[in-house]
Amino acid sequence: MTVNDVTGVGAKTAEKLEENGVTTIKELAVSSEDVLVKDIGLGEGTAKKILSNARKQLETHGTGFSKGDTVNEKEKELKKITTGSEKMDSILGGGVPTNYITEFHGENGSAKSQTAMSLAVNTQLPEEEGGLDKGVVFIDTEGSVMTSRIEEMAEAKGLDSEEVLSNMFIAQTIDSNDLQDKTKSAKKLCSQEDIGLIVIDSIASHYRAEFSGRNELGERQDEIGKVIKDLREILRAHEVAVVYTNQVYHDPGGGYGDNTIAWGGNIIGHNSTFRVYLQDRMSKGWNAKLVDSPGLPQEDVYFDVTDEGVTDVE
């Protein structure tokens, strides 16, 4: 059902919504009043009215609640994207899932971008091979995505590299404002194209460079929150996976052991459903440790990076 089917949405309002990538009742229902007013330009009264109507029309029982067994069935039906490593897939419960945010953080050289590019290629594999047979939105904030590397990975997996690249929508961002704009554009792309994965590599880059002082912490977290809010709206409206890489820092007062901490504080930590810590262990290969998830144990495995991208260590 389209936005035209929502009570109270006239032709002009529908046109405004569709221009901003809101075409279905579900996409409208998961939007916020703030987005409709500030980004789309609707009046507050109109925004409240059509949001309320869309949500009521979408609900089965008119309460906003679903039974636990229904939610459980939906969870079982979630599709997953292979990382390329069966061992890394295993600590994630079978791969990177749709409908959730997965974070990969680590130091420079820990294979964050290699993992992101591998997932971009693997998303385009058939479902029986661990993919979704769908396109990818790739937002590059660090200049780390290399189309030649994407081609190499695709060809090593027996895919048509030109077709793989044609199914990727790549944007390189200038600053944090540009990242926000590109994230909003990703919402539109998900309505217009058959997208299975959205990647941001990395979520930290611009904010870390632009907000350096403690007095700017609140503003920085607010700005990051806007991007994550848009990502959450995409997840609620579309069957996609969201992956972002993240930088780290070292806590000088952390005592003995590994004092590496994912950057971004609670705003990123609370919104990353799955958090994977990547490390380069030199001769042993790379290590991936699931450090946080709602229902999986902390566990680490070794993996390799080859022409195919992320693979298991032989």
What DSSP letter does each residue of 3-72 carry, written as one string? Answer: GGGSTT--HHHHHHHHHTT--BHHHHHTS-HHIIIIIS---HHHHHHHHHHHHHHH-SSSSS---HHHHH
The predicted pLDDT at position 245 comes to 96
Assess if residue 129 is contained within a domain.
yes
The predicted-structure confidence for 227-273, as pLDDT tens digits, reads as follows 999 999 899 888 899 999 999 988 776 666 677 888 888 899 999 99
What is the domain count for the chain?
2
Assess if residue 166 is contained within a domain.
yes
* Same-domain check for residues 42 and 158: no
- Asked if pLDDT for residue 63 goes beyond 60, the answer is no
- Asked if pLDDT for residue 72 goes beyond 90, the answer is no
At 6, the pLDDT band (50, 70, 90 cuts) reads confident
* Same-domain check for residues 193 and 305: yes
The predicted-structure confidence for 110-132, as pLDDT tens digits, reads as follows 999 999 999 999 999 999 999 99
- Quickly count: other Cβ atoms within 10 Å of residue 70's Cβ: 11
Q: Can you count the helices (H) and strands (E) in the chain?
A: 13, 13
Mean pLDDT for the stretch of residues 181-196? 91
- Asked if pLDDT for residue 66 goes beyond 70, the answer is no
Assess if residue 198 is contained within a domain.
yes
* Same-domain check for residues 193 and 53: no
* Same-domain check for residues 112 and 218: yes
Identify whether the C-beta of residue 310 lies closer than 8 Å to the C-beta of residue 81: no
- Asked if pLDDT for residue 61 goes beyond 60, the answer is no
The predicted-structure confidence for 144-183, as pLDDT tens digits, reads as follows 999 999 999 999 999 999 999 999 999 999 999 999 999 9
* Same-domain check for residues 52 and 89: no
* Same-domain check for residues 86 and 235: yes
Identify whether the C-beta of residue 273 lies closer than 8 Å to the C-beta of residue 101: yes
Q: At what angle do helices 147-156 and 112-122 cross, to 10 degrees?
A: 60
* Same-domain check for residues 258 and 170: yes
C-alpha distance across the termini of the chain, in Å: 50
* Same-domain check for residues 43 and 104: no
Q: What are phi and psi of 254, to 5 degrees?
A: -85, 0
Assess if residue 65 is contained within a domain.
no
CATH number of the domain at 139, please. Answer: 3.40.50.300
* Same-domain check for residues 141 and 48: no
CATH number of the domain at 35, please. Answer: 1.10.150.20
The range of the structural domain enclosing residue 207 comes to 78-312
Show the CA angle centred on residue 226, arms to residues 106 and 184, nearest 5°: 95
* Same-domain check for residues 135 and 223: yes
* Same-domain check for residues 137 and 39: no
